Amino acid sequence: MIARQEFITQLALLNDPSANNYPLPDACFENDRNRLREFLMSWFLLSAKKQSWYIPGMSRGEELWGHFYSADVDRDQGMDAREWQEYLRKNKTYNVKHQKETDKMRLLCLSALVEEADRDGNGQMDFAEFRRIMGERFAPSRKVCSVAGTAAKAADGAERLLDCRACVCACGKWVCSEDTCDEDDADPEDDPDEDEEDPEDDPDVQDLRWF
Ligand SMILES: [Ca+2]
Ligand SMILES: [Ca+2]
């Protein structure tokens, strides 16, 4: 169940007709992140026995350490999203058909997982942080995005337009596309200095002011 104010905000965002004209940015939503986590938990478990470092009788924690150690190629005791992705790629966990698309989404979701794990905020996971989020009992966070200038909150997956950019709320943050208003500009050399121009005189700007 969601709060009434949140519901109203969501409804307003849903009915925003201009939102349809904008391509939404790629983003890893909480649901994607959590599904990837579950996939990885079972993959780590199933694939441990096939690894060169595997010793029969290893505990779950030791198996996770084996994966972590192998993924941490620069041996700085930390795993970031790129090391994680490279480790998964080497172990052929990809559907080759959709490799490119998978690569992009995987990296976004691995980054979201690292962020979820990274309690000391150094941008990567140490083994304790990694082990914690790969634990059966770990409950992934649920976050909302604040809507600037209001007390309203947007739920994961909500869409909105912000300064000519299409944004989606993903894992507690607004992820935005490029500024689409700039694309309509002709040669930028011909534009007068924007700082000195009165926005009211520019028909393009007038049209867009309601954002
Ligand atoms: Ca590392
Ligand atoms: Ca960390």
Within a domain: 121: yes
One domain, residues 170 and 94: no
One domain, residues 101 and 172: no
One domain, residues 54 and 105: yes
**Ligand having the closest approach to the CA of 127:** 2
One domain, residues 79 and 114: yes
Residue 103 is predicted with a pLDDT of 85
> In this model, does residue 206 exceed pLDDT 50?
no
Higher-scoring residue by pLDDT: 40, 22: 40
One domain, residues 67 and 36: yes
**Ligand having the closest approach to the CA of 123:** 2
Residue 26 gets which letter from DSSP? Answer: P
How far does residue 164's CA lie from ligand 1's centre (Å)?
Answer: 38
Q: Which residues contact 2 (CB under 8 A, 6 or more apart)?
A: 10, 155
Residue 102 is predicted with a pLDDT of 80
Residue ending a domain, among 76, 102, 133, is 133
Pairing mode, if any, of strands 173-176 and 153-154?
unpaired
Residue 99 is predicted with a pLDDT of 74
Count of structural domains within the chain:
2
Q: What percent of the chain has pLDDT over 90?
A: 61
Residue 161, class by beta-carbon neighbours within 10 Å (0-12 exposed, 13-18 middle, 19+ buried)?
buried
Within a domain: 143: no
Q: In the structure, what pLDDT confidence band is assigned to residue 45 with cuts at 50, 70 and 90?
A: very high
Residues 65 and 70: their CA atoms lie apart, in Å, by: 8
Residues in the chain: 211
Within a domain: 41: yes
> In this model, does residue 191 exceed pLDDT 50?
no
One domain, residues 46 and 106: yes
Q: Which residues contact 76 (CB under 8 A, 6 or more apart)?
A: none
Within a domain: 38: yes
25 close to 167: Cβ distance less than 8 angstroms: yes
pLDDT tens figures, 162-174: 888 999 999 999 9
Within a domain: 147: no
Q: In the structure, what pLDDT confidence band is assigned to residue 18 with cuts at 50, 70 and 90?
A: low
108 close to 114: Cβ distance less than 8 angstroms: no
pTM confidence score:
0.74
One domain, residues 47 and 98: yes
One domain, residues 14 and 34: no
Residue 162 is predicted with a pLDDT of 84
List the domain range (segments joined by +) for residue 41.
30-133
One domain, residues 112 and 175: no
What would the mean pLDDT of 187-193 be, rounded to a whole number? 46
Within a domain: 149: no
One domain, residues 92 and 163: no
What would the mean pLDDT of 104-132 be, rounded to a whole number? 97
Within a domain: 23: no
106 close to 91: Cβ distance less than 8 angstroms: no
One domain, residues 109 and 199: no
Residues 3 and 163: their CA atoms lie apart, in Å, by: 27
Q: Which residues contact 16 (CB under 8 A, 6 or more apart)?
A: 159, 160, 161
Residue 21 is predicted with a pLDDT of 67
How far does residue 61's CA lie from ligand 1's centre (Å)?
Answer: 19
To 5 degrees, how large is the angle CA 92–CA 119–CA 48?
30
Phi first, then psi: what are they for 173, rounded to 5°? Answer: -135, 150
Residues 153 and 158: their CA atoms lie apart, in Å, by: 10
How far does residue 80's CA lie from ligand 2's centre (Å)?
Answer: 9
Within a domain: 191: yes
CA of residue 4 relative to chain centroid, distance = 27
How far does residue 136's CA lie from ligand 2's centre (Å)?
Answer: 20
Read off the CATH number of the domain in which 127 is found. 1.10.238.10
Highest mean pLDDT among 3-17, 87-101, 121-135: 121-135
Residue 97 is predicted with a pLDDT of 67
Q: In the structure, what pLDDT confidence band is assigned to residue 201 with cuts at 50, 70 and 90?
A: very low
Residue 174 is predicted with a pLDDT of 95
Question: In Å, how far are 47, 113, 157 from 40, measured between CA atoms?
Answer: 10, 11, 23
Higher-scoring residue by pLDDT: 109, 197: 109
pLDDT tens figures, 66-94: 999 999 999 999 999 999 999 999 997 76
Terminal-to-terminal C-alpha distance of the chain? 30
How far does residue 110's CA lie from ligand 1's centre (Å)?
Answer: 14
Residue ending a domain, among 78, 98, 133, is 133
**Ligand having the closest approach to the CA of 118:** 2
